[in-house]
Structure 1
Amino acid sequence: MMSDGRNTTVFLRFERLMKTYLPSLDGFDEAFPKEKIAEISTALKTACASPATRKQETVPEAAPKDGSKVKAEKMISMAWAQTDKDHRLCPGHVLNLSEDKSEETDEKRYKIDGSFISDADKDSIVPNVQNWALQRLSVEFKRGGTSLDAFDDHPGKTLENEADSRRLVRGQLMSYAERIFTYQHRTALFMIFVNGLEFRIIRWDRSGCIVTEALKYVETAEDTKRLLQFLYAFSKTSPEQQGVDTTAVPLSKDSCGWKRMNALSFAHSNDVDETEGEIDPSTVPSDFLGPADDPGKSPLFERRLLHDDPTATCHHQTDHPPDPQRSDSDIRPVFKYVRTLFHKSLPKGWPRYKVTVDGRVYLIGKPITDPSGLIGRGTRGYVAVEWETQRFVFLKDAWRPYYVDLEYEGDMLQKLNTAKVSFVPTLVCHGRVGEQETEASEYSPITGHKKSDAPYDEVKAPERDKSKRRIAGLPSRAKGSDSAVRTKPSVHEPRRGGASEPPRPKHQRDDDKGPKRPLLDKEEEVYDGIGLRHMEHYRIVVAEVCLEATSFLYGQQLARVIMHCIIAHQEAVEDCRILHRDVSAGNILILPTIKSGWIYWTGILSDWELSKFLLRDEEELKARQPHRTGTWYFMSIRSLAYPHRPLGIPDELESFLHVIIFFAIRFICSNCSLSVVHSFVEDYFDGMTNEGSNRYTCSEKKVFTIKQARLFHGRLNIAFMGGADKLGKDDQPLEGDGHPRHPLRDLLADLLKLFQARYAVEEWEASSARLDEAKTAVPEPPLPSLMSTVASRDGGFQRPPNEIQALYTKRSGTRKAKKVNVLSEPTKPSDETFKEAKKLDSHVAVLEVFEDYVTSPEIVWPLDDKVKDGLDGYQPPEFFAQAAKKARLTVRSTVTPMATIDEGKEARIRARTDA
């Protein structure tokens, strides 16, 4: 997870953070007089003392009674809990410890040590578990020591120290913050990191975090006072100042909205089975809600069977008596999968909210798509109830990058809908969420409007561009590469939190050659917070609630769904000049519809948030964003090799190719064993090539597959087959004599040939351009040949005569000396190759390939070719998980933490490939 948020930490001194974000200390002296502060300080100091020096009567009440030893970390947490019980450290809040047991609703099973929860929620607390939905102020305890300090605030060091133990603790803290952002609707989160007898304050948001110096809290009463001042000031702030997104209003269990969500979640007798096939139109209920049907305002409001405000307390039988003239007519039937998805979004113990988008009210529960980390967009998708119409819709909540020239997704989708582009979502409404923007990004050394307390030389810091708000320019190098530039600190320099301002040292590279970070080939200066990106909160609602692409039932259906998405892409380009720019497995969805007596599954190309208008011919062809755009697995070879070149139609079409290969290798029956599937995905999708200077491009496997126009792994030619087909001795499907060749094999072969031609032409053009440049370049003095020199003992050099260098071997016949032409012309591809490559300038050729195989009645696809997901249990290689994945610094994140995280260890990650 940490590799998704490199260089996103900035430093503020404790006093400045308090003044900026928690300014109110009115009444502190009355709440915590000197005597009480001294008492609390003594209690904490005594309870946190080492067991050898602690008297038995000072052991916290929560300590084991059987005499068993307590870990130093747990002893500290129990000391805090006991002191809070006696003195209420944070007025109006109670400290709940939760380090031993994970919450049942949390599939990741994370166990943060504790949290302060408002007294208003006290009755809802489940003791000794995390209560993620209730936490106001999170607390994590460590036993102490430099190795467990998540941050390094010594002069000359970067805050994100790359020592393994520090990095893992930092990732642990980020994982806990991510859980709270998932359960709650948050703009920010305050966290106390207690490391032994020191504490830091952290403020997280979607761009990164602000962290203070490490402060002592028990050495003296004055130290304790600073901790108590923070806790008191926090208690006096509003929920909005604490980081709660107050635009999301919690629903109580006795509210009209909560009870209505329960009613809508139960299976309905008239719901329609979405399985593809013929259907008798007369069996479809007249009030059936199709994917994009807008029923208008529900008559239930006019009949006073629902409150206008879903948060209103509702005594159902009293406030809304049953209508004697109806049975179940107040709930309209839908496809079964829609109601099933909604039911899954209402698990026991998960909060429910009312949110408003462009004046419309929606009710949501648990997201059906989780964000893949804390830093970044944090996209969450919900099956929502539109309160006014009582229909199900899909609501996306995200933090979008703030670019001056980046269109809102809703505006782009509206243009597509107006142009009647096929196979795209139908916009309902969209809009910014108030004025909510990330705060940590304001301290970016490149684009921020505020200066952090980092002690680097501002003369050498990157120039700030305050005229336009843009995302900080991210270098196209490996994420987590040696961006931690250090200085040589003086032994006389205090830590950043010291009483005096430390000198501003000269930054220089520390060539740490350990396994923590790959080594850069050239010196590069990077500052704390250079990876910060400014984000704004955004919500969008579309009418269609879709199935994931992995729900396809057989290969032909998969090919058809992808074909529909290519059609959507073609119409968007031709009718609106809009390029999607993030074609990936997760953005291809399935929408069941009723059409001409059939339930028919169509493809939907979703997620247009990164889309842009195509440049006109006369416009300068250059990338308008400072970093790559897309999902690593599916980006074209060209876009990964040249991230600053703008994406084009061929790049997007190639992404569709990678998508269908990805789904096919996972779900279509083939001659690949499970281990081969894992190895292929590791080599083709997870793999990458280090080209030096810490610059990563796509894997050699992906390049070779396209250059050879052959899907293979080692010596195995990958072939797809029906579920009943058999393999011969050569591990190839038995074909002929009634065993047809699987159409997907030939479909992929035809597509690969098109892209093989494209790269053959591009390689020739690049070679020709380099040759022309070499011919016109001013010649430099020739370098002496290292092959033809002999060093004498005194350092002089002589060139031996040719006859001495000649090989004394017998040769038959005569042979002329070979003349090497260093500037020989590259081999030009054939005219047919040029013609094939040219086809990728539009969608026509690729769509013709799909249509030939998907719609042709002569080509028979098996209906039993889908198998269990071949990636079940797959883990990316350790190198990828910890090092090579760093190349995604400039690519949209596609990773998510594993389900558990051990104390002191960061959770391993796996590629998020199906959401």
Structure 2
Amino acid sequence: MMSDGRNTTVFLHLERLMKTYLPSLEGFDEAFPEEKIAEISTALKTAYTAPGARKQETAPENAPETAPKKGSKVKAEKMISMAWAQIDKDHRLCPGHALNLSEDNPEGTDDKRYKIDGSFISDADKDSIVPDVPNWALQRLSVEFKRGGTSLDAFDDHPGKTLENEAESRRLVRGQLMSYAERVFTYQHRTALFMIFVNGLEFRVIRWDRSGCIVTEALKYVETAEDTKRLLHFLYAFSKTSPEQQGVDTTAVPLSKDSCGWKRMDALSFAHLHDVNETEGEIDPSTMPNDFLGPADDPGRSPLFERRLLHDDPTAMCHHQTDHPPDPQRSDSDIRPVFKYVRTLFRKSLPKGWPRYKVAVDRRVYLIGKPITDPSGLIGRGTRGYVAVEWETQRFVFLKDAWRPHYVDLEYEGAMLQKLNDAGVSCVPTLICHGPVRQQETETSEYSPITGHKRSDAGCPDDDDAEVNASGRPIAPLSSRAKGTVSGGEARPTSSKPRRGKTGEPQKPQDNRGGKGTKRVREEAEVCDGVGLRHMQHYRIVVTEVCLDVTAFRYGEQLARVILDCIQAHGDAYEKCGIVHRDVSAGNILILPTIKSGWILWKGVLSDWELSKRLPGGGEKPKARQPHRTGTWYFMSIRSLANPHRPLGIPDELESFLHVIVFLAVCYVRSNCSPLAVHSFVEDYFDGAIHEGDNRYTCSEKKVSTVNEARLRFGKTPIAFLTGEETLDETQQPLEGNGQPRHPLRDLLADLLSLFKARYAVEEWEACMARVVSQAEAANTTPPLPSLASIISSDSQATSTGRRKIRPPAAIAHDHRKPPGNKWKSVATSSTQPSKPSQETFKQSEMLDSHSAVLDMFKTYLDDSSYAWPLDDKVDNQLAEYEPPNPFKKAKKARLTTQTAMPAIREVDEKLVRAHTGS
């Protein structure tokens, strides 16, 4: 998880943090008179100095763990936490909140089995507390205890050090704290989370949000009553704030178990007698229920409200028998049938013990439970997907809750989808509504040294007048991890006179555009923490389609058709709207069962247009809206990874589709690869990276060699997809001529790879010619250079419509043309030195400038009856036990059904201009 959150920590003194976010201390002296503070201080000191509770504080950070043994470590931390719990019971450390310890038992609904030490929970929720478990859904202020010592301090504010100290023990503790915060954000709807990190004699306050975290200095709280008073100041100020100030997203209203909405969600989750099996195949229309609710159907306002069977407000308390009396005249059902998988997904989103909420999007009301797609970490977009009930219509829809990058001219995903829907682009989600959530934006990003409007308290004080914080430590000069690396390996220069830490109000940076408008770019010279911070805005979008994950495909042919649909959607979006997706990945390709012409068909849906970009028209120049290098590492093209600041083109997007189908085929289609061979291939091809220096990485040698050779291999063995029980020879290759036809996927991938092999051969030659021209110009001579236009001949691809008569009819499945022949067959040869490619290679490379050649290729293999696709080639996920290699192994276990092991790339661009909505 820490790989997602590097360079996202900023430093504030506790006094300033409280002044900014927890300003009220009114009534503190009455709540905590001096004698009470002294009593609490004495109790804390007694607990910490008890035998076995204290550990030497000055242990070297990287020293091996010696005494005390594990048992005494647990005892030390537990004695401190139990002392806090007893003191809270006697004196209420945080008025209106109770401290609940949970270090021994995970929560039953938490599949990650995390056990935070404790949390303060509001008295308003005391009847819902389950003792001795984390109660993730109820936590207001999280608390983690450590026995003490610098090696267990998650942050480092000493002079000359960085906040995100990379010592192994510190890094692991920091990752632990982030994991706990991520759990709270998953269970609750949050804008921020305050956390107390207690490390022996000291404590820090941390404020997390989707951009990063604000952390205070390590302050003593035990030795004197004045030290304890500082801790009590924070706890009391926290108790005086509203839930919204504490970081609770108050736009998500919890449902009680006695509410109309909760009971209705239960009723809708039960299996329905007339729900339709979504299995692809021919159906008898007469067997379809008349009131079947398909994904494209909008039933309008439900008649149940007029019949007083539902409350207008789903949070209203009700007793079903008295508030909703049965209507003897009513013969139709209260619940309309849907595809079975939709109701199954909704039922899974309502596990026992998980909270349910009412949320509003553009004045429409939706009910949601547990997300069916979880975010991959705390820092970033935090995308959560829900099968939601649209209260007014009582239909199932898909609601996405995310934190989007908030930059000038970056369009909302809903606006992009509306353009696609209006233009008639097929195989994309259908927009219902969307919009930002109030004015909710991340606060930590305001302290970004690149785009922020506030300064942190991190500085480099002069030796002769260094300021000293409340704990007696000098204010630390905190440099960044990579000496100012911000984007593409460019280093930020350091100032000759470093900035000093200050405790007063920060000054806003000068507007570098002469004071026009409110867009600001900070170009300060000094190096500071927080260069990885990105400003995020809370956003929700609702679409009609509730889809299946792409890994739900039943056989290889079905997978190929789903990919084909998504390529067609991508092509239509480009041709009709000038929009490119920019994040083609396995997680963004979905399956939608639909009914058409007496068939249930599984269509592909290209989803998540959040990072899409509308290409400028005419002579308009692209604007710096967000980093060019966006996408998911596994599936990004070789070119885009090698040149992160070059805009993505159609060939890059098509190459991403290639990598998607390679990944899914290797992991889910029967082949000559054992599970261990699949693990090795995925590690080498997808997880692998080449370090280019300056914190820059490019894709693996395996991915490059696969494309350059146009051949899939694990080790030295070519990968062969199998149609049945083929016999393999001693080299693990299927024996040809044994009566088993070749799997069409083998040839489809070979032909796709040949196109990209040609493309890179041409690009390599063009780069070589460009160097020759550059050298000639430097010598004031210009050697003759053959015109590419004279080499590349136009290729008219007259096509005729093909039609299949098997599984399902092609005219129903898709509407793509079939070419008269396989003109993409590779004839290019590779060599160690770039040489002018053949005319045929130029023609192949040119085919990737549009979508038509790739679409025609898929169409041929899917519609030509001479290609026999088996129906039983799907296998279980071959990556079930796979873990990605370091540095990602300790960060997060791979979840490759809907997400990839590598996080989506979000590089900081020094030229970003962030939207600013304030004054």
| TM-score bin (small chain) | 0.7 to 0.9
Q: Secondary structure at the match of 1:561?
A: helix
Q: TM-score, normalised by structure 1?
A: 0.84
Return the alpha-carbon distance in structure 2 between the equivalents of residues 420 and 632 of structure 1: 30
1:598 and 2:606 aligned: no
State how 1:647-662 maps to structure 2 within 5 Å: 647-662=648-663
Deviates more, 1:149-158 or 1:342-351: 149-158
Contact persistence 1:719–1:733 (CA under 8 A)? yes
**CA positional deviation for 1:778:** 5.8
Number of residues paired by the alignment?
798
Q: Which residue of 1 aligns with 2:458?
A: 454
Contact 2:292/2:337 (<8 A) preserved: yes
Classify 1:150/1:696 alpha carbon distance in 2 versus 1 (closer, same or farther; 3 Å): same
The Cα of 1:624 is off from its aligned counterpart by: 4.9
Rounded to whole Å, the distance in 2 between the matches of 1:345 and 1:354 is: 14
What SS is found at the alignment partner of 2:847?
A: helix
Is the counterpart of residue 194 in structure 1 residue 195 in structure 2? no
For normalisation by structure 2, the TM-score amounts to 0.84
Q: Does the CA contact (< 8 Å) of 2:638 and 2:704 recur in 1?
A: yes
Matches within 5 A, 1:679-698: 679-698=680-699
User: What is the aligned counterpart of 2:860 among 852, 858, 862?
Assistant: 852
Q: 1:314 aligns with which of 311, 315, 318?
A: 318
1:84-111 Cα shifts (integer Å, max 9, x gaps) = 1111111111100000110010000001
- Aligned partner of 2:16 in structure 1 is 16
Question: Does residue 423 of structure 2 align to residue 419 of structure 1?
Answer: yes
- Report the CA distance shift for 1:718/1:334 in structure 2 as closer, same or farther (over 3 A): same
Whether the aligned pair in 2 keeps the contact of 1:103 and 1:109 (CA below 8 Å) is: yes
How far apart, CA to CA, are the structure 1 residues paired with 2:361 and 2:171?
38
Distance in 1 (CA, whole Å) between partners of 2:329 and 2:222 is 70
Does residue 245 of structure 2 align to residue 241 of structure 1? yes
d(CA) in 1 for partners of 2:117, 2:693? 42
The alpha-carbon distance between structure 1 residues 502 and 861, as it changes in their structure 2 partners (threshold 3 A), is closer
What is the aligned partner in structure 2 of residue 481 from structure 1?
none
Report the equivalent of 1:64.
none
* Structure-2 change in CA distance of 1:306 and 1:749 (3 Å): same
Q: 1:689: Cα distance to partner?
A: 1.0
- Report what 2:541 is aligned to: 540
Match of 1:42 in 2: 42
- Post-superposition CA distance 1:124-143 (Å, at most 9, x none): 11110000000000000000
Counterpart check, 1:832 vs 2:831: no
What secondary structure, in the 3-state scheme, does the structure 2 residue paired with 1:301 have? coil
- Listed one character per residue, the Cα deviations across residues 771-808 of structure 1 (whole Å, up to 9, x for unaligned) are 222233369xxxxxxxxxxxxxxxxxxxxxxxxxxxxx
Q: Matched residues in 2 for 1:119 and 1:44: separation?
A: 24
Q: Contact conserved, 2:466 with 2:474, CA < 8 A, in 1?
A: no
Q: Find the residue that maps to 1:300 and give its secondary structure.
A: coil
- State the Cα deviation string for residues 322-360 of structure 1 (Å, max 9, x = none): 222346611000000000000000000000000000000
- Checking the alignment, whether the CA contact within 8 Å between 1:689 and 1:697 is kept in structure 2 is yes
Q: Which amino acid aligns with 1:870?
A: Q
Q: Which residue of 2 aligns with 1:672?
A: 673
Distance 1:172-1:880 versus aligned 2 partners, 3 A rule:
closer
| Partner of residue 708, structure 1 | 709
Deviations 1:149-169 (A, max 9, x none): 111111222111111111111
SS class of match (1:23)? coil
Give the partner amino acid of 1:254: D
- Whether 1:528 aligns to 2:532 is no
Q: Distance in 1 between matches of 2:29 and 2:888?
A: 54
Is the alpha carbon distance of 1:490 and 1:898 closer, same or farther for their aligned partners in structure 2, counting shifts above 3 Å?
Answer: farther
Task: Please give the alpha-carbon distance, in whole angstroms, between the structure 2 residues aligned to 1:70 and 1:545.
Answer: 46
Q: Distance in 2 between matches of 1:897 and 1:204?
A: 24
Whole-Å separation in 1 of the counterparts to 2:381 and 2:52: 49
The share of aligned pairs that are identical, in percent, is: 76
* Aligned-partner residue type, residue 191 of structure 1: M
For 1:450 and 1:897, the matched residues in 2 are separated by: 37
* Contact kept in structure 1, 2:712 and 2:719, CA below 8 Å: yes
String of CA shifts for 1:434-493, please: whole Å, max 9, x gaps: 000000011111111111111148xxxxxxxxxxxxxxxxxxxxxxxxxxxxxxx97996
* 2:582/2:653 contact within 8 Å kept: yes
> Could you tell me whether the CA contact under 8 Å between 2:22 and 2:241 is conserved in 1?
yes
Q: What is the distance in 2 between the residues matched to 1:737 and 1:41?
A: 83
Tell me how large the CA RMSD over aligned residues is. 2.5
User: Offset at 1:858?
Assistant: 2.4
Q: CA 1:69–1:164 in 2, change beyond 3 Å: closer, same or farther?
A: closer
Q: 2:878 aligns with which of 857, 870, 883?
A: 870
2:93 to 75, 89, 93: 89
Summarize the Cα distance change of 1:415–1:53 in structure 2 as closer, same or farther, 3 Å threshold.
Answer: closer
CA contact (8 A) 1:582 1:630 kept: yes
Amino acid at match of 1:25: L
Describe the SS at the equivalent of 1:697. strand
Paired residue secondary structure (1:425): coil
Shift of 1:188: 0.3
Residues 854, 510 of structure 1: alpha-carbon distance in 2 compared, 3 angstrom cutoff: closer
Inter-partner Cα distance in structure 1 for 2:331 and 2:99: 49
Conserved? CA contact 2:458–2:476, under 8 Å? no
Distance 1:858 1:763 in 2: 37
Match of 1:332 in 2: 336
* Partner of residue 4, structure 1: 4
CA contact (8 A) 2:581 2:612 kept: yes
What whole-Å deviation, never above 9, does each CA across 1:714-766 have from its counterpart, x for those lacking one? 21011101233332333112332421010000000110111001000000111
Q: 1 CA distance for matches of 2:886 and 2:331?
A: 58
Q: 1:898 to 1:663 in 2, by over 3 A?
A: closer
* AA matched with 1:652: E
Question: 1:376: which partner in 2?
Answer: 380
Letter in 2 for 1:834: F
- Is 1:570 aligned to 2:542, yes or no? no
Conserved in 2, the CA contact under 8 Å of 1:566 and 1:847? yes
- Structure 2 residue matching 1:71: 3-state secondary structure: helix
Residue range with higher mean Cα deviation, 768-777 or 256-265 = 768-777
Query: Which structure has more RCO (C-alpha within 8 Å, separation ≥ 6)?
Result: 1
Q: Distance in 2 between matches of 1:911 and 1:696?
A: 13
Cα deviations by residue, 1:356-415 (Å, 9 ceiling, x for unpaired): 000000000000000000000000000000000000000000000001011100000000
Secondary structure, counterpart of 1:363 in structure 2: strand
Contact persistence 1:896–1:911 (CA under 8 A) = no
Matching residue within 290, 293, 317 for 1:289:
293
Q: Is the 8 A contact 1:621 1:646 kept in 2?
A: no
Q: State how far apart, in whole Å, the 1-side matches of 2:903 and 2:4 are.
A: 13
Unaligned runs of at least 5 residues, structure 1: 55-66, 458-488, 512-519, 780-823, 886-894, 900-908
Code of the aligned partner of 2:688: G
For residues 829 and 155 of structure 1, the distance between their equivalents in structure 2, rounded to whole angstroms, comes to: 58
3-state DSSP of counterpart to 1:355: strand
Q: In the alignment, is the contact (CA less than 8 A) between 2:243 and 2:250 conserved in 1? A: yes
CA 550–18 in structure 1, closer or farther in 2 if over 3 Å, else same? same
| Mapping of residues 189-268 of structure 1, within 5 Å | 189-268=193-272
> Residue in 2 aligned with 1:175?
179
Q: Report the alpha carbon displacement of residue 524 of structure 1 after superposing the two structures with TM.
A: 6.8
The aligned residue for residue 80 of structure 1 is 84
Larger radius of gyration: 1
Gaps of 5+ in 2: 55-70, 484-488, 495-526, 781-831, 905-919
Structure 2 Cα separation of the partners of residues 869 and 508 of structure 1: 41
Q: Indicate if the aligned counterparts of 1:622 and 1:645 stay in contact, CA closer than 8 A.
A: no
Secondary structure, in 3 states, of the residue corresponding to 2:305? helix
AA at the equivalent of 2:10: V
CA shift at 1:233, angstroms? 0.9
Aligned to 2:356: 352
